[in-house]
Amino acid sequence: MSLAAIRNPARPHHLTPLGALHANESDGLGDGTIILLGPLEPGFWPHVSTEPEFLDQAPDPMDRWSARVIGALAADLNATALFPFGTPARPFISWALRSGEAFLSPASMLVHGNAGLLVSYRGALFLPEHLVLPEAEPSPCETCATKPCLTACPPKAIIDAGYDLPACHAFLDTPPGDTCLSRGCAVRRSCPLSARYPRMEAQSAFHMRAFHN
């Protein structure tokens, strides 16, 4: 099997591989390949926001949609579905870094070579075989001269220690914080790669509401 064999059936759901890695002993999965799945843009939000999970008024529509869709993909591909939510919650940040397609940005957030700081993962597929994987790319932050992510945060919650979570939440409770709530995190939007990634602001607002609640 190849990554294309994953990409094609995922495309109708506006999902795509955003990294892949070979499992090791610490993952507890056995020998095989983990393929990380995230939104395929443009078009993810118009697609997912009209799915049944977003229309039934029940909690956690994104997680429930991810579980249904990625679970079905796994069944069709003789794979195992893995998720960053539920039990056990898998180490997606670690997997993303190991994949060689995501990196730790100067702002201590994951950055992806295509999605920038707007990268997100809805789940993963584990295949019990070693797929041929592409060579790792260098971090895009290495050639980013201005590093706007370090200065874009209005409440200056990006600090040397990493991230001042209380300062962020306190700012979001103020009128100036409405911009981050409605358009997405200012730090994530400041990344030059994010600026070219066609994620709709409505999707960022959905994630910000979940984060701030």
**Token match 């200056």: residue?**
156
Supply the angle between the helices 61-77 and 3-10 in degrees, to the nearest 10. 130
Q: How far apart are the first and last CA of the chain?
A: 41
Q: What is the pLDDT of residue 148?
A: 97
What percent of the chain stands above pLDDT 70?
A: 100
**Token match 């009209």: residue?**
50
Cα 17 from chain centroid (whole Å)? 11
Domain count, the chain: 1
pLDDT tens track, the chain, 213 positions: 788 889 999 999 999 999 999 999 999 999 999 999 999 999 999 999 999 999 999 999 999 999 999 999 999 999 999 999 999 889 999 999 999 999 999 999 999 999 999 999 999 999 999 999 988 889 999 999 999 999 999 999 998 878 899 999 999 999 999 999 999 999 999 999 999 999 999 999 999 999 998
Instruction: Say if residues 34 and 56 touch (Cβ distance below 8 Å).
Output: no
Q: What is the pLDDT of residue 88?
A: 87
Q: How is residue 44 written in tokens?
A: 């993810």
C-alpha to C-alpha distances, 208 to 16, 101, 177, 184, 213, nearest whole angstrom: 22, 24, 11, 6, 8
Q: What is the pLDDT of residue 99?
A: 96
pTM: 0.95
Residues of the domain holding 33? 3-212
